[in-house]
Structure 1
């Protein structure tokens, strides 16, 4: 059962300022947005985001949240782990439907929610906010395009290592199982199955991991983080 926490000080707890979408807003405008944000504390293992939930932006203030989708066979496919300052559901504010995205807490986690309807009401009440958010969104889209180009050049070995480190956080163990087919993992991190196999072998040769099919044992988490995270 979720526990609710009220009476957050705006000076101490501007959840919305953690989100790039609101990065250009003034202090007074942030306060306006914060007034319609709901703060909740969840226990470990609670579902925060799902296709059946009210469309809303979820900002992690404390704790961590795993974001995953379900395969056609109903198996979890980890997408990422969100830590304090991270968020999910930004698309929901603009009416994009969530067809297959889930978020589950990995520990006691404090989430700040901004519902789509509250967001719309806010824009109607403060038209100047709409213009600023439009400017921010356009700028963010340009940044994302640059980031996508940068990702194309980024070392695949690093992407695999960071994916394994996120899996370690989810299961809280140095032995993890890849939750999807290798071809799907290759698509997810932007490479080919052949490259995935080569990179896993390199990580094994370096003494970072031990692999048996989909089961990966991380032999030296600290060194893996130092070299790749």
Structure 2
């Protein structure tokens, strides 16, 4: 069984448990993940999992809450620096939205699998999205409304959702685009973010223009 890279005994037990649980939930899903397996990965007694998190549901929510907190904090810090009156405001808002999950705050491939599953998951996952992601999503949609004052809230909400869909397809970094294109190594994060931002911003602008033409 693989151990988390940062399972060193110098880490507090709670952090080791969260790191191990993130990997276990990523590999096995919520149903397949076992508390015993997580305890073994974290190199702690299983009783500590129940002490800190009560049960598997509590541990899963803590994994989501920790990572979502890191992502959202960086997103909002970046969003606060955007000049919403600037010509490239849409691009800058999209970059603030899309870059953090692909950087250190996003937790790499392990959380990427969990993140992707949240958006299409069962009621438990939908509740996590509602609690941990929707409030920040509304901040971003409001920012887009300021940047695009003539756009309807509906088209902005759809544009936001399409951007997140593109992010989910990208965040796992499984090299599928390179395989389909027959090219070599995957591009770096800056290149990926730039492509995502152009795609999301261009799509939103086109959707707004189409909506304007039909009204």
- Using the size of structure 1 for normalisation, the TM-score is 0.28
- Using the size of structure 2 for normalisation, the TM-score is 0.29
* Larger relative strand fraction: 1
* Larger relative helix fraction: 2
